[in-house]
Chains A and B, each alone.
Chain A
Amino acid sequence: MTEGINFDLFRAGPNAMVLVNPTGVIIDANQAAVLLFQRNDLVGRVVEDLVPLEVRDRHQANREGFFSDPRPRPMGEGRQLSARRSDGTEFPVEISLCPVVTDQGPAVVATIVDISLLRSREREIQEFTGRLESLVEEKTKKLQEANHELETFISTISHDLKAPLRGLSGFSRALREDCGALLPKEGHFYLDQIEVSTRHLSDLIEGLLTLSRISERDLSPTLVDVSRFIEEWARQRGGESGPKAEWSIEPGLSCRADPYLLQVLIGNLLDNAWKYTSKNPSRRIEAFQKEKDGHHWICIRDNGAGFDMAYRNLLFRPFQRLHRQDEFPGLGIGLATCLRIAQRMDGALEAHAEVGKGATMGFSFS
């Protein structure tokens, strides 16, 4: 009776199918369609009886449009379609259309899939995602608050620590100035030691303050000329005692970042390169850029003391050091600060080194 349509498949198909002629009359329907629309009287009806009332007129126009250019396609692409049962209830559907030729002329097979379950699952997922998002938001806010509290605490403590330290430093100074003549040589040595400790503690406090500023600071990223910053740094430190350094600074290094944080970061890396090459008579410090993992990295390489990569995990922890004070003095806060800065800028920091050969430190901001 028909060309281009397998009626066995049509009748036995698990999905609802109706065969519709160009005037919109349903000329055949399978059992699945009867069940889906809950009506036995499908054949002979116009197909518009199966669509929601408010889209009836539009559906008729669309149907006429389809027959003027019949080709297989999904119906109502990009729109959410609904179908209507005999009792007037509506349910979400997906419909695909396929033109066929019957012995009565051209027609279309519409395959209708009830997607109520899919839609309700989608809604559940949306609700769940929404709940999850607000939960994450809430937890993040709490975490940020706790973090902020901690930073405020560190900054307050650090400022409060300055006062007694100023007393310690000031009175040992006054002792030397006012009573210096009465003190034996040992007395002056002891005063020197008090000053060394005072300076150490003072550096620690400044380090903690810098660390706490990283999270508190409002970032204002600008394009920073990194090459120029390093050149200026090298010029300032060049006059210090110790072996002369050979500098190799790639021209045109630049980075979009908060200038203060970037300067602290690069300053710390340079400080390290400078310190750990101080015992190398032919010290060399290089600054260069590279592309890796789709990111732009700026690196500082030195030929200094280096370190054992086995201890790499300790490198970025506050107050952890890989060298003895009598080898290379330090606080162990510089690289912890660098890591915090890299994290604040959504970036990364990496280190490679070999004992006695030097270290390369690199950072990249996203």
Chain B
Amino acid sequence: MKRPLLVVEDNPQDEFFILRALDALGILREVARDGEEALLRMLSPQREGPLPCAVFLDIMLPRVNGWEVLRQLRENSRTRYLPVVMFSSSAEPRDLESCYRLGANGYVHKGIDTGEFQKRVQAMAEFWVKTNIPLP
């Protein structure tokens, strides 16, 4: 069964741009609209379906934010090596450093130029969905 890419994003407009970029590449994807929903999909015992092949995870999410989702994913042996790319409006070097220090596999700055943003989304998707061969 083919594993989808999970997009965790609460802003419907950003979701639109991300999905538009992914759909242009024909990438199978699913959406979770906050951190709780994302964790439920991946870590709950009642979850259905396979784990996603990778997660595109926004940092500023209501209730459970992206940092916390990432932390829980890295603590769980099932998702420890799951590729996670963090998304943020911040281009501050310290935010980028924090992401990698907490075990993220990539970082995408959601700039104002959506053309540029979508190119970054596609580059990350190309790598983590198509090029990267997940560990068995």
Contact = CB atoms under 8 A, between A and B. Distances in A.
Interface of A: 155, 159-160, 162-167, 169-171, 173-174, 198, 202, 205, 213
B110 interface: yes
Contacts of A160: 89
A202 B89 CA distance: 12
A173 B110 CA distance: 16
A163 B90 contact: no
B13 interface: yes
Nearest to B118: A170
A166 B110 CA distance: 8
Given A198-B112, A202-B112, A167 B89 contact: no
Contacts of B111: 162, 166
Contact of B114 (A159, A166, A205, A213): A166
B89 A162 contact: yes
Interface of B: 11, 13-14, 16-17, 20, 60, 89-90, 92, 110-115, 117
Contact of A159 (B13, B89, B113, B117): B89
14 contacts: A159-B60, A159-B89, A162-B110, A162-B111, A166-B17, A166-B112, A167-B13, A169-B112, A169-B113, A170-B117, A171-B13, A173-B114, A205-B112, A213-B92
A87 B54 CA distance: 91
A167 B16 CA distance: 9
A169 B90 contact: no
Given A159-B90, A165-B112, A170 B17 contact: yes
A166 B9 CA distance: 14
Contacts of B117: 166, 170
